[in-house]
Amino acid sequence: MIAATNNSQLIEAIWAETQERGQTVPTVPTVPIVPMVNIVDVPARCSFILPSILRRDQLTIAVSTEGASPGLAKRIRQGLEEYFPRAYGPYLRLAALARFYLRNAGVSYERRDDFFNDFFVSDVLEHLVRGNIERAVVTTASLLYFYGIDVALSDLKAVLETGDPDVSRGERSIEDPDVSRGERSEERVNYGA
């Protein structure tokens, strides 16, 4: 429940009623269910908060002052928009797809960690910020290749073009490559000798 009033008697009445109506879990009668209440601008009468949220596809950043200054939370969130441009959405999709390929190929946790250290210091994000998807895809494919994963550029590009987070999490197939046999005839990057 969300209530907005500056009437102190009404605030206390709402709080009291929501607390009285708190129930217990039927299978565990000693475990109470805490009522979800937010009396706007009265932090002492809130069992949950409403943070200011910045979303970039699967990236979610929440800022809260626990009701002390919602305007400040909003201002901080707006400041974060500069540090986390919209390109973080496709950047995260590429990272998720790379993780999917690395895990499916049996790459160890330590090597995956090394990959992501390289990925996060690469210029992939910079290319995406500038709108240069091709360079971001080629850089990602090159990094994957260095870690033993040969992936078609079209697969990496597809996750950026569809914007489908299920593809990047591996929950929807884009014809996963069999890296052990290298069976793909699609466009590849020339990685050099």
The pLDDT tens digits of the residues spanning 20-68 come to 876 555 666 666 677 788 888 888 888 888 899 999 998 999 999 888 8
Instruction: Extract the tokens encoding 50.
Output: 């409403």
Share of the chain above pLDDT 70, in %: 79
Let me know the angle formed at the C-alpha of 186 by 107 and 188, rounded to the nearest 5 degrees.
60
Q: Which fold has domain 51-84?
A: Double Stranded RNA Binding Domain (3.30.160)
Structure tokens at 8: 């102190």
DSSP 46: B
Q: What is the pLDDT of residue 47?
A: 82
More confident residue, 4 or 190: 4
In the predicted model, what is the mean pLDDT of residues 87-110?
95
**Which pLDDT belongs to residue 70?**
87
- What is the average per-residue pLDDT within 114-120? 97
Q: Is the pLDDT of residue 189 over 70?
A: no
Please list, in sequence order, all residues whose beta carbon lies within 8 angstroms of the beta carbon of residue 154, skipping any fewer than 6 positions away: 186, 187
Could you count the other beta carbons within 10 Å of the beta carbon of residue 98?
25
Do residues 65 and 73 lie in contact, with contact meaning Cβ atoms separated by under 8 Å? Answer: yes
List the domain boundaries for the chain. 1-48, 51-84, 88-168
